[in-house]
């Protein structure tokens, strides 16, 4: 396997013909697989199909929230969604703008609505140009990607949260990092991908990226039971694992690749697909 192959795996949306555009209050908010759209229309939920696009009929947030709740219940009943999370995500034209509505996290990808997350890389300098990164292993009882390797801190941004509120919450839950430490994190941009994750779903994610240099005296410790252990891995070991194994969650491999490019540890001298990889990040 190659690093480029792993990056392309999260940008694999090539079958637009199988999806309808989704609109709410004249805003384009998502992409819905035709099978899902037909199911929703068949059960007479307040959507309408016009000119190969799906429109939410309701306009007020209160009524839209009810529509999305009923949509989720329908997909659960039809066993398309296997389990709900109990966490609401926002539907916005961009994060920080007015919420059009909120919806159950597990429904987001079935309507192709953009989801948002925070990903932080905590690293330790071991020399002038050498670094090691704190890598957590997800707990064996995690419902999503158990036992996979992750970024130091990673999680979704819930409805009503700002980027920094999500970072502070996730940082304490996942690694016991206090606000004082997390305030030193440097925001370094975003990563976006459009990922055909399941048969009828489409992940359109924006991940807000942070780098945090810490001393070797600061040890991450999990608080919420979602991490089994943390290991301090060299950049070389991480890059080799991303290239040659499926040990890492796919989107975390993407975030780590971006980090190593910023640090100059993946470059045109040691990576033959460097230019193409950079175009995709």
Q: What is the pLDDT of residues 108-144, one digit of tens each?
A: 999 999 999 999 999 999 877 789 999 999 999 988 8
pLDDT in tens, 64-82: 999 999 999 999 999 999 9
pLDDT for residue 1: 73
State the Cα–Cα distance between residues 165 and 151, nearest whole angstrom.
Answer: 18
Considering the chain, tell me which residue range(s) the CATH 3.30.750.160 domain(s) occupy: 16-113
State the Cα–Cα distance between residues 175 and 135, nearest whole angstrom.
Answer: 11
Burial class of residue 1 in the structure, from the number of CB atoms within 10 Å of its CB (0-12 exposed, 13-18 middle, 19+ buried): exposed
* Degrees to nearest 5, angle at CA 103 with 206 and 138: 55
Task: Give helix 61-77 / helix 34-42 axis angle, nearest 10°.
Answer: 100
Considering the chain, tell me which residue range(s) the CATH 3.90.79.10 domain(s) occupy: 3-11+115-280
In angstroms, what CA-CA distances link 102 with 48, 80, 110? 20, 20, 14
pTM exceeding the 0.85 threshold for the entire prediction: yes
Average pLDDT over residues 161-169: 97
pLDDT for residue 127: 75
Choose the CATH number for 16-113 among 3.90.950.10, 3.30.750.160, 3.40.50.300, 3.40.50.1950. 3.30.750.160
Q: How confident is the model at residue 214 (pLDDT cuts 50, 70, 90)?
A: very high
In angstroms, what CA-CA distances link 81 with 72, 73, 77, 198? 8, 9, 8, 11
The domain defined by 3-11+115-280 folds into: Nucleoside Triphosphate Pyrophosphohydrolase (3.90.79)
Torsion of CA 280, 91, 211, 242, to 10 degrees: -50
Q: Give the number of other CB atoms < 10 A from CB of residue 73.
A: 14
């Amino acid at each position: 396997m190659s690093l480029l192959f792993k990056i392309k795996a999260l940008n694999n949306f090539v079958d637009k013909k199988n999806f309808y555009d989704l609109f709410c209050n004249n805003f384009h908010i998502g992409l819905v697989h035709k099978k899902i759209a037909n199911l929703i229309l068949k059960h007479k939920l307040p959507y309408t199909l016009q000119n190969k696009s799906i429109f939410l009929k309701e306009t007020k947030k209160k009524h839209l929230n009810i529509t999305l709740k009923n949509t989720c219940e329908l997909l659960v009943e039809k066993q398309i969604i296997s389990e709900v999370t109990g966490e609401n995500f926002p539907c916005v034209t961009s994060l920080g703008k007015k919420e059009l509505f909120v919806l159950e996290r597990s429904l987001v990808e079935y309507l192709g609505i953009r989801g948002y997350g925070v990903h932080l890389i905590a690293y330790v300098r071991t020399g002038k140009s050498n670094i090691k990164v704190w890598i957590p292993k997800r707990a064996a009882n995690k419902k999503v990607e158990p036992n996979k390797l992750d970024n130091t801190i990673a999680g979704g941004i819930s409805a009503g949260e700002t980027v920094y509120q999500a970072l502070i919450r996730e940082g304490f839950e996942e690694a016991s990092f206090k606000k004082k430490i997390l305030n030193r994190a440097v925001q370094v941009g975003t990563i976006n991908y459009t990922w055909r994750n399941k048969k009828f779903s489409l992940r359109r994610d924006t991940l807000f990226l942070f780098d945090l240099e810490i001393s070797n005296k600061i040890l991450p410790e999990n608080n919420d039971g979602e991490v089994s252990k943390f290991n301090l891995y060299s950049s070389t070991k991480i890059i080799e694992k991303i290239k040659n194994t499926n040990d890492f969650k796919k989107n975390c491999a993407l975030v780590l690749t971006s980090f190593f490019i910023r640090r100059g540890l993946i470059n045109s001298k040691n990576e033959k697909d460097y230019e193409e990889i950079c175009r995709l990040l």
